[in-house]
Amino acid sequence: MRLAFLCLAAAAWLGACGAIGRVGTVKAYEGPERPAEEGLLSTQLRADEFQVAEGTIISVDGVTLAKPAHGARLLAGPHWVGVISSVRQGSLRREQFCAFELPVDAGCTYNPVFPSFPGVGLEAGDKPWQVVTSVLVNIECADASYATRVALECSNRALCRGGAGCPKPDMRCVQQPSFSFGACNAP
């Protein structure tokens, strides 16, 4: 019901519900357009009675996007994605940097449902923290719909792999053995 209302409201503004999937969507690969080989990662806004949650894509495969987006067109194959996940409850807003790996199939749409802000983040205050959890990903393809969970790492700092993924060139990626992703540190 809520989705239908949001679609109708967006349709009035955009002119058609079919346009919703492409709002804020970027092509996250180099070279010419190859729509037949693409999958779509969509981190659109989700709202319920008590909180509003969203994920904003900031990097794909270690390449920082020129402008953060709510959707990324990816070529089929494995990718790692960096997002800023935010949750707003009333006037309180919390943000965390998260990263996950996702195998993408052409013609499918991937809708991750990011978890709420972790307790370890609340307890850490201003100190650095990093946690491993999972993210539910709803997947819609032409011939099937299903859901899966993938490992999700979140931190109060941008996550990276090796030298890739940090938002500023002077940052370095510091990796701890217990995590798949490192955290970006300023010198």
- Determine the pLDDT at residue 178: 87
| Residue 76 lies inside a defined structural domain of this protein | yes
- Determine the pLDDT at residue 24: 82
Tell me the average confidence (pLDDT) per consecutive run of 10 residues in the chain, 187 residues long: 36 33 76 94 74 85 91 97 87 90 97 87 87 94 95 94 83 90 89
| Residue 10 lies inside a defined structural domain of this protein | no
| Residue 44 lies inside a defined structural domain of this protein | yes
Structural domain count, the chain: 1
| Residue 13 lies inside a defined structural domain of this protein | no
| Residue 1 lies inside a defined structural domain of this protein | no
| Residue 36 lies inside a defined structural domain of this protein | yes
User: 3-state class of 139 per DSSP?
Assistant: strand
d(C-alpha 25, C-alpha 8), whole Å: 20
24: left (phi over 0), alpha (psi -120 to 50) or beta: left
N-to-C CA span, the chain: 49
| Residue 124 lies inside a defined structural domain of this protein | yes
pTM comes to 0.79
Full domain range(s) for residue 83? 24-185
Comparing C-alpha atoms, which of 184, 129, 177, 178 is closest to residue 161? 184
d(C-alpha 8, C-alpha 83), whole Å: 28
| Residue 11 lies inside a defined structural domain of this protein | no
